[in-house]
Amino acid sequence: MAGNVGREVPGTMAERLIVALDLASIAEAEAMAERLAGEVSFFKLGLGLLFAPGVDGLIARLTRDGRRLFLDAKLYDIPETVSRAVTIAAARGASLITVHGDRRIMAAAVAARGAAPLQIFAVTVLTSLDDAALAEMGVGVSAQELVRRRARAAVEAGCDGIIAAAADDPNAIRRAIGAEHLLIATPGIRPAASSADDHQRLATPRAAIARGADYLVVGRPIVAAPDPSAAARAIIAEMAAA
C-alpha cells in the first residue's frame, strides 16, 4: 500500500489493529475476543495472562479461524532460554513475539524461529518511560536516541520489526537507520478524548498511522469501553482517515 513501500503490511486497517487482551481473567479475555469477532482479527496476550490458568486453551483458540496472536512476552534471558521459548511460540502458531533489544537475545530469537512465520519484534523503549525516567536508570541518551540505536541493532540481528512509540516517529526511525523494510508496532495509542493511563509517550490513532506505524496496539480504550466493537470501529476509521 502507499506509504508502506518495502514493508509487508496487511491490506486493511482493521488487520493492522492489534487489541491487547489486558483483562483480569482468561474467561474475560476469551469473551472479549469473541465479542470483537468480525471487527478485529489480531490479539495480544501480555504478561498479565501468560501465567493464568487456562492460557494454553486461549492460545489455541486465538490461533485458529484466521486470527493472529501477538505474544507480548518481552523475552529477556540468556540466549538458550530465549531460543527455547521462541521455538515453542512458533510451534503454537503465534504470529508475533517480543524480545528485548539485546543483540544476543535478538539473534537467538531470530535463529530459533527457523522457517516458521513467527515474526520477531524487538522492544526499544517502553512507552511508560520518558527521558527523565531513563536518566534515573543511568541511561545517558534520550528515549529517541535509544530507540534508534536499538532499532539499528534489531535490523542487524535480523528482526522483522520493533516496538516503538508514535512519538518516536516510525518514518524518521527508518530514515535514520536506512531500513525502510522495518515493521513498527506502536503501543500507547489513545483517541483524543481518552485518558493517558500510564503512558508517557502516546499518540492518537490518526497521528500514529500518519507517522508511519504499521500496527497499532490498543488495549483499554477498546476493552474497557461500554461498547468495545464500536470503539474498535471508531479507531479503525481514524486509522483509515490518516
Residues recognised as catalytic: 74
| Residue whose C-alpha is closest to residue 127's, from 214, 211, 188 | 188
- Which one-letter amino acid corresponds to residue 120? I
Q: How many helices (H) and strands (E) does the chain have?
A: 11, 8
What's the CA gap between 1 and 4, in Å, rounded? 6
| Residue whose C-alpha is closest to residue 181's, from 2, 12, 8 | 8
H or E stretch at 161: strand 161-163
How far from each other are the two terminal CA atoms of the chain, in whole angstroms? Answer: 13
Cα 140 to Cα 32, 106, 152, 176, distances in angstroms: 41, 22, 18, 20
Q: Kindly give the pairing relationship between strand 96-100 and strand 161-163.
A: unpaired
Residue 182 neighbours by CB under 8 Å, 6+ apart:
7, 151, 154, 155, 161, 162, 173, 174
Neighbours of 77 (CB within 10 A): 15
Residue with cell 508475533: 96
